[in-house]
Amino acid sequence: MDLHSYRSEINKIDAELAQLLIKRFNFVKKIANIKLCGNIPIENTDRENFVIKSISKIIPENHRKKKYIISCFFNIIEHSKKYQLSILKNERGE
């Protein structure tokens, strides 16, 4: 394969990831609404730790890219919390 072929494959994977993130953020929105109605805090470190540990278990311990993949999930979690916060602020008229 050449550079163009590899980049084409990455573009396909990026499109799949984008669709999965859209799906994930749709659920994040539903969770934000439940938190709003139940007066539940956005941040839940137990849940965040569970997600990271679950992802970590999927990736073999000696996998060279493990720390980078875990870092991506930390970012997803952070952006999910920011999205939830924006939803709550919007609902409260802030």
Determine the average pLDDT of the residues in 35-50.
Answer: 96
Amino acid at 74: F
Please give the pLDDT value at position 1: 85
Determine the average pLDDT of the residues in 22-37.
Answer: 96
Report the sign of the C-alpha dihedral through residues 69, 71, 72, 74, in that order. Answer: positive
List, in order of start, the domains of the chain with CATH numbers: 3-92 (1.20.59.10)
Q: How far apart (Å, rounded) are the C-alpha atoms in residues 71 and 74? A: 5
Q: How far apart (Å, rounded) are the C-alpha atoms in residues 88 and 16? A: 28
What is the full DSSP assignment across 69-88? HHHHHHHHHHHHHHHHHHHH
Q: How far apart (Å, rounded) are the C-alpha atoms in residues 3 and 6? A: 5
Global pTM exceeds 0.85: yes
pLDDT tens, residue by residue, 50-93: 999 999 999 998 899 999 999 999 999 999 999 999 998 888 78
